[in-house]
Structure 1
């Protein structure tokens, strides 16, 4: 009976929905996390010669799991190396071991002993080079964000600030402040085509298109919010409602299988 397979597909779809919602809830407090939702499509037994009035449904299938890149709440931290993006852009980080470039909305950065600005995994933040006035030297060309630990006068680095316009300014022990570079933000023609790779990171694919690097507050990238982090865009109340709905769908499909089993048993009993 096709009803068994139809309901079985329904169970699998409900399980996928439950897993996606559970993943969202688990990351409700993950910085820079973007929630996902499952899209379903119906299946029919049809052909070019079939009577449209006799088309039989065969259940549903998962059409895709879509990412929602809506802006999450921006929370003030007061830490100078915490940066949030108020827009559609992404920070770009490079893995020094294999040159792999990943993209993230998590702006929690730190400086290591060599002066490199990195994320918590040790990947280098990408920036544009600037001149002494803070103007871009090679627009569109990114480099690792490396901060000189001493200036030309031999003074040691004392503090570092990432301003709202992306300018990275280093202050030294002799009181001088120098522009080091400007944070590079990446934008994509189709961000929903980015592939999640974990730790609030994504990689570019053929569906997303190649990244376009721009300075903050340029094009679609958005502005920076220094001293703040973007929280997850998961709405727990919405996810709980979705969880209850997915559970009811699972129970309904399980009940349909049970009913089909009773019908089959009745037919078998009639034959005997």
Structure 2
């Protein structure tokens, strides 16, 4: 029965993470708890590796004295492993208590949720761009011709060569529009949003256009209309358009994507679930 209760709690929590709706002070607490969870996960991995190493030595040892020492060390590590699993689970539950479930379409209660809590994850993909700081990417909804705003800049190229937010087939045209030549072999986006391309046989980059960002007096008043897409409201105020790096707007980081803490927490917990599952499976094979 070792670790079954802990595993059950972690699994149930892993699939119960909801959209975040907490005030700034809770955001800070959640960040610290996430770091704590990650430290427990790393410690769990190290302890598991040490146990495997000891069991390998046990299989190769014949003397009673050596076996007794190795078994004592292994059993001590197993106790430590159980304690780490319990602490990690408790931390995961505490993270869960900083969150409240909400409907998909909602008004953001706090603008810092949008542009301060999230972190940048390196992808190495030229069409992934992230904002380091304040601001939103702009795009046009083809159904309403209205502007929409996004933090996550996962770009693609549509059939006509234009940069779009989302997939090539269903993405939204970013504004101002930027069109790539058909023979483009590389795209470069500077921190200030200037967008360049490289073409075959050319040594110089070709300037295609300028990315711009929108800022709001109260970004917490934006209305979420879909995952990562927001619309302007009376509460948010009118968009103020500027170039990246100017007037308080953030800068562009190419080859990165913005990743929310909830995504990070889910990944950590799923890793913990995998480790606990593997440990429990191994436990049933151990001699009693």
Q: TM-score range by the shorter chain?
A: 0.5 to 0.7
Shift of 1:148: 3.2
TM-score, normalization by structure 2: 0.52
Counterpart in the other structure of 1:232 = 260
- Structure 1: which 5+ residue stretches go unaligned? 1-20, 28-34, 39-63, 127-142, 150-155, 241-272
1:21-67 Cα shifts (integer Å, max 9, x gaps): 9999245xxxxxxx3138xxxxxxxxxxxxxxxxxxxxxxxxx9724
Q: Is the CA contact 1:71–1:86 (under 8 Å) kept in the aligned structure 2?
A: no
- Structure 2: which 5+ residue stretches go unaligned? 1-12, 24-106, 270-288
Is 1:66 the counterpart of 2:102? The answer is no
Correspondences of 1:179-190 after superposition (within 5 Å): 179-190=207-218
1:148-193 Cα shifts (integer Å, max 9, x gaps): 33xxxxxx22222222221110111131421111111000000000
Is 1:123 the counterpart of 2:172? The answer is yes
Structure number having the greater helix percentage? 2
TM-score, normalization by structure 1: 0.55
Q: Is the CA contact 2:133–2:251 (under 8 Å) kept in the aligned structure 1?
A: yes
Is 1:84 the counterpart of 2:76? The answer is no
Q: 1:24 to 1:83 in 2, by over 3 A?
A: farther
Partner of 1:108, secondary structure, is strand
Counterpart Cα distance in 1 of 2:16 and 2:244: 29
Q: Is the CA contact 1:94–1:144 (under 8 Å) kept in the aligned structure 2?
A: no
Is 1:214 the counterpart of 2:242? The answer is yes
Counterpart in the other structure of 2:17 = 25
Partner of 1:25, secondary structure, is coil
Shift of 1:125: 1.1
Counterpart Cα distance in 2 of 1:65 and 1:227: 27
Counterpart in the other structure of 1:172 = 199
Counterpart in the other structure of 2:187 = 160
Counterpart Cα distance in 1 of 2:14 and 2:246: 36
1:189-248 Cα shifts (integer Å, max 9, x gaps): 0000000111211100000001011110011211111100110133749xx9xxxxxxxx
- Higher Cα Rg, which structure: 1
Q: Is the CA contact 2:108–2:223 (under 8 Å) kept in the aligned structure 1?
A: no
Higher relative contact order (CA 8 A, sep 6+): 1
Q: Is the CA contact 1:169–1:179 (under 8 Å) kept in the aligned structure 2?
A: yes
Partner of 2:207, secondary structure, is strand
Partner of 1:66, secondary structure, is coil
Partner of 2:261, secondary structure, is coil
Counterpart Cα distance in 2 of 1:78 and 1:227: 4
Counterpart Cα distance in 2 of 1:181 and 1:65: 31
Counterpart Cα distance in 1 of 2:108 and 2:174: 29
Counterpart Cα distance in 2 of 1:204 and 1:97: 16
Q: Is the CA contact 1:74–1:84 (under 8 Å) kept in the aligned structure 2?
A: yes
Q: Is the CA contact 1:107–1:229 (under 8 Å) kept in the aligned structure 2?
A: yes
Is 1:147 the counterpart of 2:180? The answer is yes
Counterpart Cα distance in 2 of 1:66 and 1:190: 10
Counterpart Cα distance in 2 of 1:94 and 1:210: 16
